[in-house]
Structure 1
């Protein structure tokens, strides 16, 4: 890693649904960046309660003072649920990178029949109109394949690390998993990491 890449300023936006572990994933990626020698600021985005269970957080790399993100500023978006990826699109910088789960977790309004879940091809088309890099990955499905649906988050983190858009790679994420996750969770998350790398290539 060159010093120039190491000092690159970058904003990463995370969005998902309550209970998915979005904040845990944010913390793991922030710790990965810290271990890679980067300056990191991370935190929740305010206002999630008013948005009906949506969980949003940010990670800023390269010397920011506070975890603040305005519309159109995110270089990278990680969407742990496809509809929330679509809803979070205004935060993405034109030509930014999007890595999203393609496995829907319909909100309560859809479950109650008060709203319709948009077709996946429409979600993908809308996202790829804005994003310069656009990947949709079956994270829940691959998490289950690894041994735990929650490890689907690691699938997504692995894919973004493997893509080269961040100033650190999958090796750094692997080391962070081994260092920061409880021993009983490491094996399944390391399997998910491998599945994430493979999914990106596919």
Structure 2
């Protein structure tokens, strides 16, 4: 067991969205309803030969480790071609009740080291997904919120405004038909897009929903 913990301290970490080193999570995002006692997330090792030591934790929106949630089990061995279930439990209080709060859930996979490979560099990998704490009784549903995004232009800069209580993650964002890198607009906040868009009068977008799928296309006029 000691070799696992040596790797835990000294491994190089590679981040990906939902699949890393043969280990994958069962979702690309996780919603934690305010009234839930816990939520679950599957984690699977698709490698036919190698076990992995799995370490799990939660970071806040800025990427700092956070104790608002407990994940069980926090540390375990995932055997080849096997699956386990992570149980996520909220243990804090005092979060805003008028909007979602963003966290990041990480599952780090450290590969097994055999006697033959002990002198080689072992690369740990990690699955990192968004987790949203969602209060009960928000005034609109997520799918009602997606179409409420608005935009304004000041000179050749464009600012998107999200008046809703949800984080709106945009995919296939286009300004005047020109594709722009997707962004996430926090609830009840505005975000200025990188780049300049002289003469732009409209924008369109699709939203990544709770299940990781894309919504229909929404189009809006810049004010």
Q: TM-score, normalized by length of structure 2?
A: 0.23
- Larger-gyration structure (1/2): 2
The answer to which structure has the higher helix fraction is 1
The answer to which structure has the higher strand fraction is 2
